[in-house]
A and B are shown apart, each in its own frame.
Chain A
């Protein structure tokens, strides 16, 4: 076996993938050739450094508590979301059922109340103004002043 053949088989030798005969030839060559032996040592040394590098660093803290706390937090959040969703759904159903039952009963009363308000309360300001001409004039003047004030304020806001 020459050096090139041996080098090509290094990784297979490392992984123990060679059959007995080839493995013995590699070992024999490594025993005889100083250059290949040095290269082989490079590989084993580099891999040992790598293993040392990865395995000597450990977590800065015990992660068990963190993981369990995180899981509890997530479960709480999930429970809150479920509770809110169910709450909203329940309120919606309750409102829908309530409207179905109550609206037919309440509607006539609301309707009468609305008619009363429209027919009797809305005309009151107009009746008052017709009855008191001075109030009518005063309210018109106030309205005009309010319009002037608004115009001035708008102009000032735009210009400055």
Chain B
């Protein structure tokens, strides 16, 4: 892997390949596009600096996800101490060519979702995003976050319970 030898162009191709997925993880943790972009950028910079230490055989993407998760949690904590920024600051969903009514409904659903997620701690958001977006198994999440398997399960189920309320409230 040429990126390991400090080849910036090769590393740039990796950034291009993985930025959307890392952004989704960051967005799942932080809930604001601008902050998620910062986290994504920081993740890749950290990865570039540490890529020389990446052991052969360790999957690059999994390693990158771990950096993104740690960066996201730390970023969220630093935001909490500096200012109150949360999911409650609504990001407008992208228009996907649907009817205005359907778009408004989706927008409302997004707002409800943001409000619900803002009640979850960063740790809960992390396990939720790793499970539901990345599709990692419980033991993989436990291994990545260095927490007991039972804690992973309880956090995911707590987060899922919260999400269910969105549908319940809609009805």
Interchain CB contact under 8 A, A45 and B167: yes
Interchain CB contact under 8 A, B164 and A58: no
B62 at the interface (CB under 8 A from A): no
What sequence of 0s and 1s flags, for each residue 102-115 of chain B, a beta carbon within 8 Å of any chain A beta carbon? Answer: 00000001100110
Q: Which bucket holds chain A's interface residue count?
A: 20 to 34
What sequence of 0s and 1s flags, for each residue 77-103 of chain B, a beta carbon within 8 Å of any chain A beta carbon? Answer: 000000000000001011010000000
Interchain CB contact under 8 A, B163 and A63: no
Docked CA distance A45–B163 (Å) = 9
Docked CA distance A66–B23 (Å) = 14
**How would you classify the secondary structure of chain B's contact residues: helix, strand, loop or mixed?**
helix
Interchain CB contact under 8 A, A56 and B94: yes
**How would you classify the secondary structure of chain A's contact residues: helix, strand, loop or mixed?**
helix
Interchain CB contact under 8 A, B15 and A63: yes
What sequence of 0s and 1s flags, for each residue 22-52 of chain A, a beta carbon within 8 Å of any chain B beta carbon? Answer: 0000000000000000000011011101110
Interchain CB contact under 8 A, B167 and A67: no
Interchain CB contact under 8 A, A70 and B160: no
A127 at the interface (CB under 8 A from B): no
Interchain CB contact under 8 A, B8 and A50: no
Report B-chain residues with C-beta under 8 Å of the C-beta of A63: 15, 19, 23, 37, 40-41, 44
Name the distance in Å between A14's Cβ and chain B's nearest Cβ: 8
Q: Which residues of A contact B (CB under 8 A)?
A: 11, 15, 42-43, 45-47, 49-51, 53-64, 66-68, 70-72, 74
Q: Which residues of B contact A (CB under 8 A)?
A: 8, 11-12, 15-16, 19-20, 23-24, 27-28, 33-34, 36-37, 40-41, 44-45, 48, 91, 93-94, 96, 109-110, 113-114, 128-129, 132-133, 138, 156-157, 160, 163-168
